Structure 1
């Protein structure tokens, strides 16, 4: 039996909870010390004892728990998760029918009513990401609900939380069939190789689907030169190459080379006709300027925070300098696709970073279009931080 704990909300946070804000942060409640075991049920009340919401205690980088319902009588049990997953599936009915796209987000945390829980769908297989021990304590109920509603061929899980100061790593496959490795999935008719048992990242970031389609449809031109930085498995390089561009994929990780070759090969692209460079992106910018290399499009999708032997990079501090480096090797009238998944600032501030970077490079530009999360990444309108993705396509003006 789960412990049920009443927590009193701070007066300054009460109005926000009434409006439906789902995240419980440490400084928004008064008696947080009462919480002992993750997975305990939290009943949030105001200073007069009035019920505000019910959720669970689970520590992750965002806070200490999530409100799941504003109905005091609703139980957090298997039927509850069954309803939530059923509602999420209904929202994505068009994706289940789309033979050209067979990988998508099935359940997007607080956007679908359960913060800390992510479920992705890959060609019949499901991958669950647990973001705290608290949500993981509901594992049995959630797995049963998922199998009842979706009937996946197999289920994998990724634990994204610490236990005793270390990430807990179990074998990723937990139910049903094991997926082939690689598992080939479709995205707007293009093929991507994913490895469901390969750590936290399986090979493609599903939230960039619309951006990859725009690269293919509008921005990569036959015989143009495209630089894909922080390229990971080369997912952005694939639509550019299929559009007829020559791509250069740059990433510091040694495994980026075989991963990118694999993505090219499953799409019938001769990897020998494309450049794959294992190098620190900032060193590559210096190399490109020294060799007088230039590109018709530069793609920037850095991690929010990264540390190498030479430097530490943070998007909140270093994006303007990164953009300047990109602009200096972008041809006149060329494009820069600037992207960040840093949830600590919004689109307006990101555009200020872009303006600062282009001004320091002494170039004029225009914004062609912007992107945020695609439709399957449902966002809670009361939790703006959940809409983390910001992508700006800008054109350098000669």
Structure 2
């Protein structure tokens, strides 16, 4: 197996269980590496550190699979990893949820691999060259352990291009329907497996949607769900929070059509209104026309996909938060989210504070939350805490 030595002083991070070796950490190779092959990582003196896979053309050159010297990376390795992940999800996912994140990349010690479970079907996303080389063993382990009706690959993320991989969408096992119906917190949702966004649904907001509907929506409230995708926050507000009306905004007609179907599926279509358009423009028009809401959710896509665009992303978030605050009724609820790992919790709080100052609006923060428990973040990997949500309320009257 290829041996890779890393520079003096760089071993501390690896021994601290951070699973990445960067290109500039590497001191030498035992031979010329083959992209995607397995390797052993050693410190500058030759002591064993970890095993992983390598792509010398990537800035993150090595991703670690195990810190155990005696653990081979074979089929049994992947079977154990899948069994551990599946057992954990069975413990923490509520019975009224038939969809969950089964494998969450580094958080399950399977870097470059995402697997979501949708009512008996698995959707797989492979993001790295090394995991692509191991995919056959992974799929076999998934089938043997989980026994799904079907496995579908949806490896269509830009990260693959950085690894020299093409976009792939294909069935891997069994018969795959275009759509499946899942339950989330007891609410039904149509999920577009074939041709939909990401793996089909954003499962990481499950607990936040429940919290919003239970504690931040009252019967009869008017709710704005900006960047609604399949209507998750809004439909939770209608079904569990007994909201009077939800206005759902998204730029994707496919997403809005599915959101309408989901509203019908739960018998709340008469209180669910959709608006197609760029949320920046739609929210500006709504605010300038004097629209008011009792509760607002702003859950945009990742604006800061790299650190170099962070300042631009902060301006985008602030504009949206300003519009939201201005449209809140006294005592209203505001939930703002960011799924950019470069936007840390303090940065998100800073942006919201700036918007509150500019609108002269005191905000009371009740919760700061993260992704759902089936999407755990690893303390040693700050990049894995990507989703942040702030739940706030305005005062019921001017102060």
User: What TM-score results when the alignment is normalised by the length of structure 1?
Assistant: 0.90
Counterpart residue number, 1:219: 216
Q: Distance in 2 between matches of 1:316 and 1:106?
A: 32
Q: Which residue of 1 aligns with 2:183?
A: 186
2:1 is aligned with 1:13: no
Q: Is the 1:100–1:186 Cα contact (8 Å) retained in structure 2?
A: yes
Counterpart of 1:118 (choices 114, 119, 144) is 114
CA offset digits 1:40-59 (Å, max 9, x no partner): 11221111111111101248
Distance 2:216 2:287 in 1: 23
Partners in 1 of 2:300 and 2:312 — Cα distance? Answer: 9
State the match for 2:253 in structure 1. Answer: 254
Q: 2:278 aligns with which of 277, 280, 283?
A: 280
Gaps of 5+ in 2: none
2: CA distance, partners of 1:42 / 1:54: 6
Alignment match, 1:103: 99
In the alignment, what sits opposite 1:383? Answer: 381
Tell whether the 8 Å contact from 1:7 to 1:31 is kept in structure 2 after alignment. Answer: yes
Q: What's 2:332 paired with? A: 334
Give me the whole-angstrom Cα distance separating, in 2, the residues matched to 1:234 and 1:297. 15
> Does the alignment pair 1:49 with 2:64?
no
Contact 1:337 1:394 in 2 (8 A): yes
For 1:266 and 1:359, the matched residues in 2 are separated by 41
1:24 counterpart = 2:1: no
Matches within 5 A, 1:363-378: 363-378=361-376
Q: Deviations over 1:185-217 (max 9, x none)?
A: 111111111121124524421000011111221
Tell me by how many angstroms 1:164 deviates.
Answer: 9.3
Distance 1:274 1:367 in 2: 28
Report deviation, 1:93: 2.2
Report the alpha carbon displacement of residue 84 of structure 1 after superposing the two structures with TM: 0.7
Which of 344, 347, 353 lines up with 2:345 in the alignment?
Answer: 347
Report the Cα offset of residue 31 of structure 1.
4.1
Aligned to 2:205: 208
SS of the residue 1:11 aligns to: coil
- 2:86 paired residue among 84, 89, 103: 89
Cα distance change, pair 382–165 in 1 and its aligned pair in 2 (3 A): closer
Aligned residue-pair number: 388
Task: Structure 1: state its 5+ residue gaps.
Answer: none
- Give 2:69's match in structure 1, choosing from 56, 64, 72: 72
Please point out which of 359, 362, 370 is paired with 2:360. Answer: 362
Deviation at 1:132, TM superposition (A): 1.3
* Structure 1 pair 369–215 and aligned structure 2 pair: CA distance change class (3 A): same
Distance 1:99 1:32, change over 3 A: same
Displacement of 1:354 in angstroms is: 1.4
Provide Cα deviations, 1:68-88, integer angstroms capped at 9, x if missing partner. 111223211111101111111
1-side partners of 2:348 and 2:332: how far apart?
A: 20
Change (3 A) 1:164 1:396: closer
Equivalent in 120, 139, 142 of residue 143 of structure 1: 139
Q: Does 2:155 match 1:156?
A: no
- Residue 263 of structure 1 deviates from its aligned partner by 1.4
Q: Distance in 2 between matches of 1:164 and 1:388?
A: 20
